[in-house]
């Protein structure tokens, strides 16, 4: 039987659900202790419902929710300003993640939390391993980084908008192909994760360069680029290479489990 593996970007799902549950109770940006507990309870229940809906709609044979490690990943060692200034998870939510994991497990989805890796890299590793066997993978997330993995065996599903983020979506939003996205973002930077890219290069210019030359390496080797753009690329070449490294999802993370371990009991 052909496997269909669903990989849930757990914190992407939970934090968005938490924000929705918290919003009606916010007063001066603070919650009372009783309200915090109510919001956390609502978040756990809504997260479990979301997982049940995902499983009912996608009908996978295997599935797992992947969390980030509590330890800083390799990207912080490479670039200390990675995600600098990004809003942190509320402490009361962080301390209750195990309860939410239990709620997900009640719907049939187990959770994994790596020792030192981001969920993005773990999901990418597992997705590629499964896809190379010609098995189907659906990544459930609104994080754009996973769009770079899309191919005939890997799809990305946005649960909140109930849509698949496919090649047409990528072309309309970014004007490049999925396998060119890392090059695009290395040029433009990624403001969400505080990855700078090349100063002065926006998405329109970056997309035009990629359309004309195909890749970052070809762009850097070209000799007919507009002088003002060439100057920016020359000045930002080191940051371009660093940004490309930071944006590239690792595909060789030691997993410590196999497909049998995440087979859904309902299948």
Q: In this structure, what CATH number is given to the domain that contains residue 28?
A: 3.40.50.1010
In total, how many domains does the chain have? 2
Residue 32 domain-assigned? yes
Residue 68 assigned ligand-binding role: no
pLDDT at 177: 94
pLDDT at 117: 92
Question: Which residues lie across from 136 on neighbouring strands?
Answer: 4
Residue 62 domain-assigned? yes
pLDDT at 31: 80
Residue 5 assigned ligand-binding role: no
Q: 54 and 96: one domain?
A: yes
Rounded to two decimals, the pTM is 0.94
Residue 160 domain-assigned? yes
**Which of 147, 167, 187 is a domain's end point?**
167
Task: Residue 109: name the closest of 131, 133, 135, 140 by CA.
Answer: 140
Distance CA 179, CA 177 (A): 6
Residue spans of the chain under pLDDT 50: 267
Residue 90 assigned ligand-binding role: no
Write the pLDDT tens digit of every residue in 90-105: 999 999 999 999 999 9
Q: In this structure, what CATH number is given to the domain that contains residue 242?
A: 1.10.150.20
**Which of 141, 167, 193 is a domain's end point?**
167
pLDDT at 209: 95
Q: 146 and 184: one domain?
A: no
Residue 11 domain-assigned? yes
Write the pLDDT tens digit of every residue in 3-50: 999 999 999 999 999 999 998 887 666 788 888 899 999 999 999 999
pLDDT at 85: 84
Residue 48 domain-assigned? yes
pLDDT at 174: 96
Q: 80 and 146: one domain?
A: yes
Give me Rg for the CA atoms of the chain: 20
pLDDT at 267: 42
**Which of 146, 167, 188 is a domain's end point?**
167
**What is the domain extent for residue 220?**
170-247
Residue 252 domain-assigned? no
Residue 243 domain-assigned? yes
Residue 113 domain-assigned? yes
Long-range Cβ pairs for the range 52-55 (8 Å, 24+): 52/107, 53/159, 54/6, 54/8, 54/140, 54/157, 54/159, 55/6, 55/107, 55/108, 55/109, 55/264, 55/266
Q: 146 and 69: one domain?
A: yes
Q: 154 and 203: one domain?
A: no
Residue 198 assigned ligand-binding role: yes
pLDDT at 25: 83
Q: 144 and 192: one domain?
A: no
């Amino acid at each position: 039987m052909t496997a269909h593996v669903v990989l849930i970007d757990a914190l992407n799902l939970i934090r968005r659900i938490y924000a929705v549950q918290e919003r009606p109770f916010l007063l001066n940006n603070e919650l009372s202790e009783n309200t915090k507990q109510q919001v956390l309870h609502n978040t756990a229940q809504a997260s479990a419902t979301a997982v049940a809906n995902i499983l009912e709609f996608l009908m996978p044979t295997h599935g797992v929710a992947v969390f980030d490690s509590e330890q800083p990943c390799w990207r912080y060692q490479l670039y200390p300003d990675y995600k600098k200034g990004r809003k942190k998870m509320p402490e009361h939510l962080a301390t209750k993640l195990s309860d939410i994991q239990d709620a997900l497990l009640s719907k049939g989805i187990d959770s994994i939390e790596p020792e030192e890796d981001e969920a993005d890299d773990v999901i990418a590793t597992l997705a590629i391993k499964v896809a190379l066997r010609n098995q189907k993978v659906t990544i459930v997330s609104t994080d754009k980084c996973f769009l770079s993995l899309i191919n005939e065996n890997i799809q990305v599903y946005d649960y909140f908008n109930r849509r698949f983020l496919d090649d047409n979506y990528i072309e309309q939003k970014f004007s490049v192909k999925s396998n060119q996205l890392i090059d695009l973002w290395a040029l433009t930077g990624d403001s969400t994760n505080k990855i700078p890219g090349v100063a002065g290069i926006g998405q329109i210019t970056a997309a035009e360069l990629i359309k004309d030359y195909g890749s970052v390496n070809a762009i850097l080797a070209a000799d007919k680029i507009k002088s003002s753009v060439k100057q920016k690329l020359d000045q930002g070449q080191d940051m371009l290479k660093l940004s490309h490294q930071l944006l590239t999802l690792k595909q060789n993370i030691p997993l410590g489990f196999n497909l049998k371990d995440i087979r859904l009991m309902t299948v």
